Chains A and B, each alone.
Chain A
């Protein structure tokens, strides 16, 4: 199998497609954000260890404030497998913060008309819907669409 393409990382997950050079059959490997993080949380080095273990390595390398200067940080790529190298690179890669859609006054007024205690949850759902639909602005049309799709 030969490496064909990679996608991501998106939202902490990435996929790698391999293709058979003879029959062109393709196989995809997909990382799952939570599973990758769980493996990492156990102190397992994806792709194997290339440097001697340091004391409190998992603790120091997993601390978000201390990880960068930790001596125990694994190399960004390790071993011969391109997949593990990419996964290790993707783990450390900073993902851009998704841009928040802008609310119009009319859409906000409709949010304010619902009970205050569920407003944050509804806002979050509407923003997530807008992002999925590629809308940079949330207006009353988007609110209607949400209502139709999510039954809100």
Chain B
């Protein structure tokens, strides 16, 4: 979660799925962004159409075996907007969030995930989204916060951290800094993407939550993720792959240290 749109929550989710799977954790990915779903595409399973089997919907498995469930698998075309059946779309504000909560509950509970150690849930932007999820999953293990070093994003992310800790009562696994630097594809030099008064690491420290590491911006990463193959395996020498694996290790460590 982040509270802010455009910080790369979905990219980080896909990267973490790759990293955690590399570390041997049986990992699944649920796309909780019903209106802007992209995880099926980002995990390389966009053409999968779920079908019921033995009373459950079978999750799609990507090239390295991670099960994925996302709303975009139910929409007929890539660009089809999510429209709920109703006698009229006028006044949809009165019922839309309710049908979306029902749909999210079903995506979670009616999916055959197989045996999992970790289920990563990619939330849409909005500070209240974690609270809604916590209502559905009271035993939620933790929330991974994604932020860029943009001061605007950090203000919103800060608000979401406070919301998670004080209102939703959800533990924070830590903060991932996304798009921390840009690596030049020609000479390999790195440049900061954002410069501001406070760093993401300082933000994490201010809230007393772990800083999980920084993932550099990589122009080919998103395209590669769509293949559904492991970036960490196939770009093992790239600094971004190292960064992703480091973040995944810290998440894995944190998860292993949670009381059962």
Check: B83 CB closer than 8 A to any chain A CB: yes
With both beta carbons as reference points, the residue of chain A lying nearest to B56 in the complex is identified as: A55
1/0 per residue, CB under 8 A from B, across A37-60: the answer is 110111100000000001111111
Q: Is A64 touching B84 in the complex (CB atoms < 8 A)?
A: yes
Known: A37-B95, A56-B106. A64 touches B87 (CB 8 A): no
Check: A62 CB closer than 8 A to any chain B CB: yes
Chain A residues closer than 8 Å to B75, beta-carbon distance = 63, 65
Q: Is B76 touching A65 in the complex (CB atoms < 8 A)?
A: yes
Known: A56-B110, A59-B74. A41 touches B99 (CB 8 A): yes
With both beta carbons as reference points, the residue of chain B lying nearest to A53 in the complex is identified as: B55
Q: Is A38 touching B103 in the complex (CB atoms < 8 A)?
A: no
Check: B86 CB closer than 8 A to any chain A CB: yes
With both beta carbons as reference points, the residue of chain B lying nearest to A61 in the complex is identified as: B85
Check: B132 CB closer than 8 A to any chain A CB: no
Q: Is A65 touching B80 in the complex (CB atoms < 8 A)?
A: yes
User: How many residues in B have their beta carbons less than 8 Å from beta carbons of A?
Assistant: 28
With both beta carbons as reference points, the residue of chain B lying nearest to A71 in the complex is identified as: B52
In Å, the complex CA distance between A66 and B74 comes to 8
Check: B98 CB closer than 8 A to any chain A CB: yes
Check: B102 CB closer than 8 A to any chain A CB: yes
Chain B min CB distance to A43 (Å): 5
Chain A min CB distance to B220 (Å): 34
Check: A33 CB closer than 8 A to any chain B CB: yes
Chain B min CB distance to A127 (Å): 14
Check: A95 CB closer than 8 A to any chain B CB: yes
Known: A63-B85, A67-B85. A58 touches B52 (CB 8 A): no
Chain A min CB distance to B28 (Å): 16
Chain B min CB distance to A46 (Å): 13
Q: Find the residue from A34, A43, A54, A71 having the highest chain B CB count within 10 A.
A: A34
1/0 per residue, CB under 8 A from A, across B16-43: the answer is 0000000000000000000000000000
With both beta carbons as reference points, the residue of chain B lying nearest to A57 in the complex is identified as: B106
In Å, the complex CA distance between A61 and B103 comes to 10
Check: B88 CB closer than 8 A to any chain A CB: yes
Q: Is B107 touching A33 in the complex (CB atoms < 8 A)?
A: no
Q: Is A37 touching B87 in the complex (CB atoms < 8 A)?
A: yes
Q: Is A58 touching B87 in the complex (CB atoms < 8 A)?
A: no
Taking a contact as CB atoms closer than 8 A, the residue among A9, A43, A63, A93 that contacts B84 in the complex is A63
Chain B residues closer than 8 Å to A67, beta-carbon distance = 85
Q: Is B99 touching A62 in the complex (CB atoms < 8 A)?
A: yes
In Å, the complex CA distance between A64 and B83 comes to 6
Taking a contact as CB atoms closer than 8 A, the residue among A38, A61, A71, A90 that contacts B95 in the complex is A38
**Residues 114-154 of B at the A interface (beta carbon under 8 Å):** none
**Residues 60-82 of A at the B interface (beta carbon under 8 Å):** 60-67, 71
Q: Is B94 touching A37 in the complex (CB atoms < 8 A)?
A: yes
Q: Is B106 touching A12 in the complex (CB atoms < 8 A)?
A: no
Q: Is A59 touching B103 in the complex (CB atoms < 8 A)?
A: yes
**Residues 45-104 of B at the A interface (beta carbon under 8 Å):** 50, 52, 55-57, 74-76, 80, 82-88, 91, 94-96, 98-99, 102-103
A-B contact pairs, 10 of them (CB 8 A): A36-B87, A37-B95, A38-B98, A41-B84, A41-B95, A41-B96, A56-B103, A63-B82, A63-B85, A95-B87
20 extra interface residue pairs, beta carbon distance < 8 Å, beyond A55-B106, A59-B106, A67-B85 = A9-B87, A11-B88, A12-B86, A12-B87, A33-B88, A34-B94, A37-B86, A37-B94, A55-B55, A55-B57, A56-B50, A56-B57, A56-B74, A56-B106, A59-B107, A62-B102, A63-B82, A63-B83, A66-B76, A91-B87
Q: Which 9 A-B pairs have the closest CB atoms?
A: A12-B87, A41-B99, A55-B110, A41-B98, A59-B103, A64-B83, A34-B94, A56-B106, A64-B85
| Interface, chain B (partner A; CB < 8 A) | 50, 52, 55-57, 74-76, 80, 82-88, 91, 94-96, 98-99, 102-103, 106-107, 110-111
